[in-house]
Chains A and B, each alone.
Chain A
Amino acid sequence: MSDRRKAAALIAAGAAAGATLTFLTRRTRARLRKPVTQVLTIAAGRDRVEQFLESREQMNQALGDRDLFGKIDRLELRSAPGGRGTEMYLTMRGIGKYATKDILRRVKSCIEAGEIPTGKRYAA
């Protein structure tokens, strides 16, 4: 292959990679901008869940970051069937579904177990 052709191939490959990267970045950003709703059932009565949500201090602990308060789009509570607790629907903007679910998990842990679990290691 001549040097000219090699250079052309490299430029084409670089352009394709750049276009793909731009597309993926834009898509990810667009996805993050969209509100995402996640749900978890908390084994506690609606009163207890509401009491927790109303406490700024406890919610700070569950959110882990005060800035996240502003990203809450909607929060809805429903009674779970069979007396299994309270279903908590949380809609958040700009953080994606996994981070939204993690917030719900932290709220659930705080209410049910009284603390947020950590596997923080103490190895050297």
Chain B
Amino acid sequence: MKAVVWNGRGDIRVENVRDPEILNPRDAIVRVTATAICGSDMHLYNGIMPMLQPGDILGHEFMGIVEEVGSAVTNLRRGDRVVVPFTISCGNCESCLREKYSLCQNSNPNASIAERLYGYSCAGLYGYTHLFGGYSGGQAEFVRVPYADVGPIAVDSGLRDEQVLYLSDIFPTGYMAAENCDIKRGDVIAVWGCGPVGQFAIRSAFMLGAERVIAIDRIPERLQMAANGGATPVNFDDVNVLEALNELTGGRGPDSCIDCVGMEAHGHTPDAVADRVKQSVKLSFDRAHVLRLAIQSVGPGGTVSIPGVYGGFVDKVPMGAVFEKGLQLRTGQTHVQRYLRPLLDRIRREEIDPSFIITHRGSLDDAPAFYYDMATHADAMVKSFLVPQLAASGERETEGAAATLSGGSGRTGA
């Protein structure tokens, strides 16, 4: 089968690899009908996350059709259409029973390595380094899905792949980030990073009752998309963000701040420059400029919610501000399984159509170019939608298919 394979920093290729097979009784094999490149895949593309090996298959956002199930999977059948959460969870351990699925105690076969770095391990993740289990990812024609009786959710035929694919990660991630803010009517929320997770955090904050959402980024198309979702855009290239937030909140500061950027923050201040230098010489994984800004700018008693990925040790964190302002920091990988059904219901009720996020469509063969576009913010890339079978069937090359895809692998407009 074809799969998107990491071969080194900035080196993504589409290669032929062996088909996956059932290895455990609770496994399933899914034929991927749609997949996407996540913002957090950029940390892999840029070679920042440790323990990725050449030849690893990437991708943790995917959905498809069940092709085969293991002997212990009784709730899925061949032919079922499913969306698969990016967190792999057994459903039986204490964390899973408490619905903290991303902290599953059984799904990471390399838990001892993660434990040495973090004290305790978190769940296994698809296509996200050997630190999180070394599971092959879903940017492929087929994928092995462990604990298939717990993770995947069956979706109705009435909904298009474009509408439900993002239940696998970015929609629940944005939603959990907003939910972590304990939003009350009238709250003002500041969101750093208007990439895919940021866009869903903005819309989720409104769904949960925020009065105003302030979106901070520097890429005009992303700020425009945020504004389309009702947010007040702030371009950090043009203004001092701390002053702008103070002014936009009547001097109170945002009630909560959401850091959707994580370990690759951009900035112009000395701390951002120092982070960049340290990261480039491998002295640090993380550039935490946004985290510092979020802590500094949030109002007293506020919450800083962190869905952006961090991997290692962050310095210069203003803990004085955390303590003196009595802040809460809430973070973690998303407990996707907890949100699948409620968010699917919101899509069914047409409260949100997640397909608004798609700016680029294509097949697996387009993945290397899309990775490049996403890493460099070229061609106004926000989110991709990849159909693995497209190139294989030759559909993309036909006029009709090109019309369906609004220009094949090209941009479809935000």
Interfacial residues, chain A to chain B (CB-CB below 8 A): 41, 43, 84-85, 98, 101-102, 105, 108-109, 112-124
Query: Is there a chain A Cβ closer than 8 Å to B197's Cβ?
Result: no
Contacting residues, chain B, for A43 (C-beta < 8 A): 92-94, 97
- Say whether A115 contacts B97, CB under 8 Å: no
Please, which residues of chain A bring their CB within 8 A of the CB of B110? 119
Distance to closest chain B CB from A101 (angstroms): 6
Check A113 against B106 for contact (C-beta < 8 Å).
yes
Q: A121 near B55 (CB under 8 angstroms)?
A: yes
Q: A110 — nearest CB in chain B belongs to which residue?
A: B106
B interface, how many residues as a size bin? 35 or more
Further contacts, 5 of them, CB under 8 A, given A113-B93, A122-B20: A109-B90, A113-B147, A116-B24, A122-B18, A123-B136
On chain B, the residues within 8 Å of A119 by CB distance are 109-110, 124, 130, 133-136
The 6 A-B residue pairs with the shortest CB-CB distance in the complex, in nearest-first order? A119-B134, A113-B90, A119-B133, A123-B55, A115-B24, A119-B135
Q: Which residues of A contact B56 (CB under 8 A)?
A: 121, 123
Q: Is the CB of B94 within 8 A of A117?
A: no
* B275 → chain A closest CB, angstroms: 31
Q: Which A residues touch B18, using CB under 8 A?
A: 122-124
Is A123 a contact partner of B72 (Cβ separation < 8 A)? no
User: Known contacts A98-B112, A113-B26: does B94 contact A41 (CB below 8 Å)?
Assistant: yes
**B317 beta carbon closer than 8 Å to chain A:** no
- Bound-state CA distance A117–B24 (Å) is 8
Interface of A is mostly: loop
Complex contacts, B17 vs chain A, CB 8 Å: 122-124
**Chain B interface mostly:** loop
Given contacts A119-B133, A121-B134, A124-B18, are A112 and B106 in contact (CB under 8 A)?
yes
B93: A residues at CB distance < 8 A: 43, 108, 112-113
A112 closest partner in B (C-beta): B92
Residues of A within 8 A of B15 (CB): 123-124
Q: How far is the CA of A114 from the CA of B70 in the complex (A)?
A: 13
Q: Which residue of A lies closest to B105 (CB)?
A: A108
Q: How far is the CA of A119 from the CA of B146 in the complex (A)?
A: 9
| Residue from B24, B94, B147 within 8 A of A85 (CB atoms) | B94
Shortest Cβ distance from B21 into A: residue? A122
Separation in Å of the A51 CB from the closest CB of chain B? 16
A98 to B121, CA, bound (A): 13
Whether the Cβ atoms of B107 and A117 lie closer than 8 Å is yes
How many angstroms from the CA of A122 to the CA of B55 in the assembled complex? 9
In this assembly, does B102 line the interface, its C-beta being within 8 Å of a C-beta of chain A?
Answer: no
Task: Identify which of residues 94-131 in chain B touch chain A, using a CB-to-CB cut-off of 8 Å.
Answer: 94, 97, 105-112, 115-116, 124, 130
Can you list 25 pairs linking A and B with CB atoms under 8 Å apart? A41-B94, A43-B93, A98-B112, A101-B112, A105-B111, A112-B93, A113-B26, A113-B93, A113-B147, A114-B25, A114-B26, A115-B25, A115-B72, A116-B109, A117-B133, A118-B109, A119-B130, A119-B133, A119-B136, A121-B56, A122-B17, A123-B17, A123-B18, A124-B17, A124-B18
B159 within 8 A of A: no
What chain B residues lie within 8 Å of A124 (beta carbons)? 5, 15-18, 55
Answer yes or no: B191 CB below 8 A from chain A CBs: no
Distance from A68 Cβ to chain B, minimum over Cβ atoms (Å): 16
Q: Which residues of A contact B97 (CB under 8 A)?
A: 43
| Residues of chain B from 69 to 96 with CB closer than 8 A to chain A in the complex | 72, 88, 90-94
- Given known A119-B134, A123-B5, contact A113–B92 (CB-CB < 8 A): yes
Query: Nearest chain B CB to A3's CB is how many angstroms away?
Result: 38
With A and B bound together, what is the CA distance between A41 and B93 in angstroms? 10
| Residue among B57, B92, B105 making CB contact with A123, cutoff 8 Å | B57
Compute how far the CA of A41 lies from the CA of B120 in the bound complex, rounded to whole angstroms. 13
A121 to chain B, nearest CB (A): 5
A115 touches B136 (CB 8 A): no
Q: Return chain A residues, CB-CB under 8 Å to B109.
A: 116-119
Closest to B126 in A: A119
Instruction: Choose one: A102, A108, A116, A123; the contact of B112 (CB below 8 Å).
Output: A102
